[in-house]
Amino acid sequence: MHFPGADFLNALIARLNADEAFARATRWSDVKIVLAFGDERWWLKLYGGKVIDSMPWFPMANPLGWDYQIAAPLATWQALRDGTRALGHLLDTGAIAVDGDLLQANRLYESTHLMLSAIRDLPADA
């Protein structure tokens, strides 16, 4: 499985949607997120405790737009996944940057933490 890539994203969504903690953290969510792994970007729709839709994202190409994005250079994501940098440190310092509607993003802070934990822990051969 290529990271990042469609297979990885599908595995990520499957893991999140099977996670009770993620369901609890997003029970009252209704947001559109752009998840940017360097130049590779994915649009996710969170609603009612699950990721209910996803698609590749290109600027101006999605009429629904997005509420906030979670973005970092690919090397930063690799550092998260190989354990050389801690998740909390990457978030606290903005190395993985959350931007856009921060009221929504911060309301759903726990879901971001869970999503990044899943990105970190998802094996390449999942």
Partner 1 sequence: MTYEITGRYAMVDGARCYYDVCGEGIPLVCIHMGWACSLQWHHFMPLMAVAGFRVLAPDLPGHAKSMPVNWKPFRKMRDYAEWVWHFIEATCGGEKPVVCGSGIGGDMTLQLACHHPEGIRAGMGFECAARTGSISFLSGYADPHTFPGFSALTDNASTSAMYYPCDPLKVLESKWQHRATYQETCVADMDAWNDHDVREHLHRIRCPIFLYKGEADYHIPDQAVLDTIAAIPHGLAEGGIAPGVGHLIMMEQPERLAEACLGFLRRRGIV
Smallest distance, Å, CB 83 to partner 1? 10
Residue 57 sits at the vertex; the CA angle it makes with 54 and 60, to the nearest 5 degrees, is 130
Tell me whether strands 30-37 and 68-72 are parallel, antiparallel or unpaired: parallel
Between 41 and 81, CB nearer to partner 1: 81
Q: Which residues bind partner 1 (CB under 8 A)?
A: 25, 85-89, 92-94, 103, 106-110, 113
φ, ψ of residue 4 in degrees (nearest 5): -80, 165
**Least distance CB 107 / partner 1 (angstroms):** 4
Nearer to partner 1, 95 or 126 (CB): 95
